[in-house]
Structure 1
Amino acid sequence: MTIDDRLETRPSDRELLRLLSGGTPEPSFDHLIRMSDDCGMFEHARGPVPKRWHGYCVDDVTRALIVICREPEPAPELVRLAEIYLAFLLHAQDRERGFHNRLGYDRQWHDEPETGEWWGRGVWALGTAASRGPTPWIRAVALERFADGVKLRSTIGHAMAFAALGAAEVADVLPDHQGARELLADAVTVIGRGGSDPAWPWPEPRLEYADAALPEAIIAAGQYLGDEAILRDGLALLDWLLSTATRDGHLSPTPAGGWGLGQPRPGFHQQAIEPAAYADACARAFLVTGNRRWLTGVRMSVDWFLGDNDSRIPMIDDVTGGCFDGLAEDSRNPNQGAESTLCLISTLQLARWLDRIPVDSDPATT
């Protein structure tokens, strides 16, 4: 048996019980720091060791900036990284065409600027930094470049959903920001509000990845545009999506290859981006409606990382602070890339928030 074989072996039940009974850990930024340099955040890792030769991507640098901005009191080292990540996004942004996505370790772009999904994530990160950035200069610069980003549009539903989440961040602190409001409205049009077939109300023919961001964007649009019909549509879509991903009381998310009606569940390879997206969407649904049933979705997302998943395998490396890259039926991918770790951090940030909600609060009926 090789070292890699041992790394991929199913963990013991003792490890699972230790994590599930020991409480939710605090978010660790150790692996984020390990994966970052003075340019940005490396995309891939071999185990916890960065693969420098794969370079950087806007998709992951945006996630990194968002999780730091979500921290209430980030350490100076994290504030410095937030500045690095923001500088990376400014370098990637083209005001007329969108964002580059892939930067080589040689600091050369390997693609042209577009309004693909990375543009949506770029707008999301700029909006988050504009509203929650840890310093006044980060907030000011991010708002300026956010205003440029929201002038563009994409025909891709996921791209518009991610951008809408950034627009929601700005609308939360600047309710009359015209660019944010217009993007929220246009996102609903591009995403779609669901079909009439109760067996498949989803606006796309298959579930793909990070799908919970779509109803979250619709919910946010209904929230900040003051449109109850849009809000109800978003909540209904999220309710259906969460129902399809619930199995025996735990989260059983869409596998990496997607899922269509009639295909078997559970599906593998499962990735950390799925529970992270569910956690974000369900947290927003709770904050908008006050209905505590949405907290179950947040809790299931947290517990997926702790090992309450289809394979009963914990996904957290509590030595490195990283998250394993994927969940198979009887093993986990030993690598700890940027996306997985950042999704873990964002979900644990919500877990910390979840633990502070009084358990005796009256549930709402919305």
Structure 2
Amino acid sequence: MAQLTPSEPSEVYRWPVAIALAAVICVALYLLQPILSPFVLGGLIAYLGDPLVDRLESRGVGRTLGVAVVFLLFSAIITLAIIFALPMLLHQLDALISKVPEIYRWLTQDALPWLQQRLAIPERRLPQVDWSGQLADNWQSVGKFTAQSLKRITGSGANLLLSLANLALVPVVAFYLMRDWNLLLDKALGIIPLSWQQRTSELAGEADEVVGAFLRGQFLVMCALGAIYSAGLWLVGLQLAMLLGLIAGLSSIVPYLGFMVGIVASLIAAYAQFNDWTMLLWVVLVFGVGQAVESMLLTPILVGDRIGLHPVAVIFVLMAGAQVAGFVGVVLALPVGAVIMVFLRHALQQYRSSELYGGD
């Protein structure tokens, strides 16, 4: 009977140990999900800012100083957005709430009867809703809704302290992770068995390219589309321009979903505001220009074809992440999905080149 060499047992047990370790990590993440939000958000900020810090470091700037500069840049952008954009956005959201009864009236008295007549559908009417009572009982305005939400959050001193602690942890975690990003990656690679390190480094580099293309590239595409749609709808004269542009930009996380959601919502809002069919042509023009800019400039330059996630897969992983781990799952869903796609792609290549696939 052949004897195993000393190296053979380690080769036999490496894969089971790796799989067991991955399972333990997944279970730990699931159990610790309630406290992971500041660490996930901090890690996301650190990942987005690491390339900028590396570029500053390559030009002779110290790592800590570079992190401070990038951190101040991010803080300034967030502060300006809160000061200038948030009040306008809340005002438009308040205006949208006030228009709900008018939009429902148009849907029940104009749009639905017109469709039933054109399509020869038996006439059915939507139920009448007392919107004044409904809005008064729930949230009549953004201010009232915000006040009620703050009252629920601050109703318990322990909950308030926990929320403030989690919020304060985000910049702290982001700063230290951004400063020690490369060091932490080197240490993580050093834990992996020596025979796996070269291949792991190659796969990690490819996964980083895919995740970076999505997190950085798609994020910029979403912001650019939100700005284009908001500016175009503002030029048309739509009162809810910024709100609708933001919805369309955020929905662009799924290809073409932002265009479809944005144009439908904007057409309804435009007709409810102007009651003029010709204004709808301007709305269509705005979204046509935005879609052309995205297809010809934004996506090819900022994202390219490196993500490799089908739109249906994007929807699935987002819903799966929300189901498994709530907000943390949504944040981690697409990066994890992109990494899994990289490994599955290489596993498929290995399978197709194996004797199992091509042999007798």
TM-score class, shorter-chain normalisation, is: under 0.3
Report the TM-score when normalising by structure 1: 0.24
Higher share in helix: 2
Higher share in strand: 1
- Name which one, 1 or 2, has greater alpha-carbon Rg: 2
Report the TM-score when normalising by structure 2: 0.25
